[in-house]
Amino acid sequence: MWYEKNTVQAQLRHHFPQLADPNTYYGFRFCHQLDFSTSGALCVALNKAAAAQAYRCFKERTVTKAYLALVRGLVKEEIQTLHFSIGKNNSEGKTHMMCIEGTDGCENSKPCQTALTVLEYGLYDGEAVTKVLLQPFTGRTHQLRVHCSAIGHPIVGDFTYSSGADDSPFRMMLHAHLLHIPLDPEPMLVCAGDPFLPSVDAKWLPQRSLRPLKATVDALLEHRMDEQRQVKEMERDRVRQAEEKRANKIRKEESQEQTWRCEEWLREWAGNS
C-alpha cells in the first residue's frame, strides 16, 4: 500500500538505486508476488522485454516453484498431492483470508493443487513439527498456507491460519526455495538457500531425516523438465500433423483439378470426333 515504508521496493531502491526505472509505478517490474511474511526467491525484471518473457512463463504455468516450510505436527503421508479448491472468505472479520470449498463463507472457489513431500521430522521450540517441500501447481492467494492448514498441519508462525494462536515464532516458516523460469534462449534457475537449519534457528531441532533436500529438488526439476519436453513434443507433433493435413488437402484439390481438366479434355475430344 502507498503508506507502507519498509517494503521490497524500498529495499531495492536503497541497495540498487541505479536499477530503478522511473517509468514504472514501483520503480521495478515485479513478475510475481510473495506473501509479506514469506522469504526467498522473487523475480524482478530489469526491462520491459524481460518482464514480458517472464510474465508469459508465469501465465502459461511453465515456471517451477518449490517452497520449504515447517508445519505443526507430524505429517504421516510422506508424499501427497493436495487438491482443495480455494475461494475468498466473506465471513465477518475474515475477508482478508482465503478458505477451502465447502467451509462457511467460502465463495468463488477455484481448483488448485499442491504437491507435498516430507523431508524431516523434528521439534521446534520443543513441539513436534515436520519440514516439508511444497510445490504449487497453481497460484492461488495463500494457497500453501490454506492447504497446509486444511490437512491439520498449519505452517509454524502462521498467525492468520492458526486463528491467531501461533504468534510466538519470530517469523512464518515459509520460504520460496527454488524458482525455475524457462526463458528463451536460456532458462533461469535460482535457489534461495535453506533458512530452516539449527545453525540459523536454534529452536529447530531435526530428529529424523527421510530424504535430502538437494536430491529431492533435483528429482523434482528433472520430472518437471521431462513433462515440459513431452508437452513440446506433443505440440510439435500437432503442428506437423496439421501441416501434413493441409498438404494432403492441397494435393487432393490439385488431383481433383487435374481429373476435372482431363475429363473436360476427353469430352471436347469426343465432341470433335
Find the angle CA(182)-CA(230)-CA(235) to the nearest 5 degrees. 85
The Cα 190–Cα 43 span in angstroms is: 9
Q: What is the pLDDT of residues 234-255, one digit of tens each?
A: 777 787 887 778 877 777 777 7
Query: What pLDDT sits at residue 246?
Result: 80
Among all residues, which ones are annotated catalytic? Answer: 35
Q: Is the pTM of this model over 0.75?
A: yes
**Adjacent-strand bridge partners of 188:** 181
User: Confidence band (pLDDT; 50, 70, 90) for 151?
Assistant: very high
d(CA 231, CA 235): 6
106, containing H or E segment: strand 106-110
Q: How far is CA 59 from CA 10, 55, 115, 139, in A?
A: 27, 6, 20, 10
Q: 145, 116 in Cβ contact below 8 A? A: no
pLDDT digits (tens, 9 = 90+) for 35-92: 888 999 999 999 999 999 999 999 988 999 999 999 999 999 999 999 999 999 998 8
What is the grid cell recorded at 56? 508469459
Residue 118, strand partner residues: 132
List the one residue out of 39, 208, 198, 67 whose CA is nearest residue 130.
Answer: 208
Q: Which amino acid is at 95?
A: T
pLDDT, one tens digit per residue, over 116-147 is 999 999 999 999 999 999 999 998 999 999 99
